[in-house]
Structure 1
Amino acid sequence: MATPPGGLEFCVFPTAIGHCALVWREPGVVVGSALPHGSPQSTRAAVARWYPEARESTPGADVAAVVAQVADLLETGTGDLSGVDLDLAAVPAFDRRVYEVVRDIPAGATLTYGDVAARLGAPGAAQAVGQALGRNPFPPIVPCHRVLAAGRQVGGFSARGGRRTKLRMLEAEGVHLEHPTLFDV
C-alpha cells in the first residue's frame, strides 16, 4: 500500500553506535530522527510513540543518502549533514534558532551552551539553549553532541547512554575531552 502524500514513513538502520531511525515525509523531508534505544525493536517502539502515524518502509534514494551520511558520521566522524532538509514546522522559534547555530558546527569542532547563546544574541541563555537541545528531534543531523558545558565539560546528553554516548560520538569526530587512565587502557 502506497503512503498517501504527506504521510510519514520511517526506517531503522544500523550504525557504529547502534540502530538509529529516520522519519520522513515525501519528498525526502526529515521530520525526526532517533539515536539508538538499545535494540532495533526499542528504537522502533520509540518512533511509534513519537510518530504513531508513521509506517516503516524502505527509503528512496534521497532518504537513503541521508541514512548513509548519518551512519558514516557515527562511524568515521566525517560527513556534513547541514544540507539535509528538515521539517521545522512544529519546532518553537527559539529552538529553531538554536538548531540553526548548532547545524553550523562542523564535525570535529565544539561550542559551549554559552557560545551558542552568544551567537543567538542572547548571552545568559545557556540554560535555555541546553533545554532546546534536550528537545532536539533531529539527532545527529542537528549535532547537539557538539555542544558542551562551560570549561569544555561534557554536560548532559539525553540519548541512551548519556555522557558515554556523547563522548563516543565526539571521539569519532576526533574530539577527545577525557584522557584515558591506567584503568581504561
Structure 2
Amino acid sequence: MTENKAGNDYMELFHGPTLAFKDLALQLLPQLMTKAVKIQQVDNQIMILTATSGDTGTASMRGFSDVAGTQVIVFYPEGGVSPVQLKQMLSQQGSNLQVIAVKGNFDQAQSMVKEIFNDQSFNQQLHEQGTQFSSANSMNIGRLIPQVAYYFYTYAQMVKRDEIESGTSINFAVPTGNFGDILAGYYAKKIRTTN
C-alpha cells in the first residue's frame, strides 16, 4: 500500500507473478480447490472454464499450471487483450492449459462460457466421463474470499500507520469493470459490520 501527495492510499495489487490484481486469489484458488476435492472425496477431474479480457486468463493459467486433476480452458476475445497479456497466456507452461481466441468481445466470450456451463446434456456427458466444470472467474467463491483479505489488510495498515482509528469508516474506489473486486469489498464490509 502506498500513499500519494494528496494523502490518498492505493492498494498495490500488481506484485504477483503476472502483475494482475487477481494473482493473490488465483494463486490461492488452486490450493483451496484441490483441498476441497480431497475433503469432499471428488474423483472427477475439474475442468476450469474461464473468460478473460486479460488479467483472469494469465493469472488463472499461472496459478493452475500443472495442478493435478485440473484442466484449464481460457476464452479470450481475439484482439481484445493487451499484447503483454496475450504473450503471457500463449507462453505459459503447463500440460493442463489451453487458450482459445473468440471472435467478438469479452461479453461474447463470457456468454460462450455461460452457455457451456448451462448445457445440462453436455454437463451430464462430461460427468459420466469423470469430469466436472468449475471456473476461475468471480462466480467462484474460492476466488472472491482471498480478495476480501485485500480490504482487511489495507484497513489494518491504515490503523497501524495512525491514519485512522480502529472502527473508523473509510471508502474504497474500485476501477470500473472489476465486479468481483467490488463484491469482495462488499463481503468485507458485511463481515466487519456483523462482528
Q: Under TM normalisation by the shorter chain, which class is it?
A: under 0.3
The structure that is helix-richer by fraction is: 2
Q: What is the TM-score when the length of structure 1 is the normalising length?
A: 0.27
Task: Work out which of the two has the higher radius of gyration on C-alpha atoms and give 1 or 2.
Answer: 2
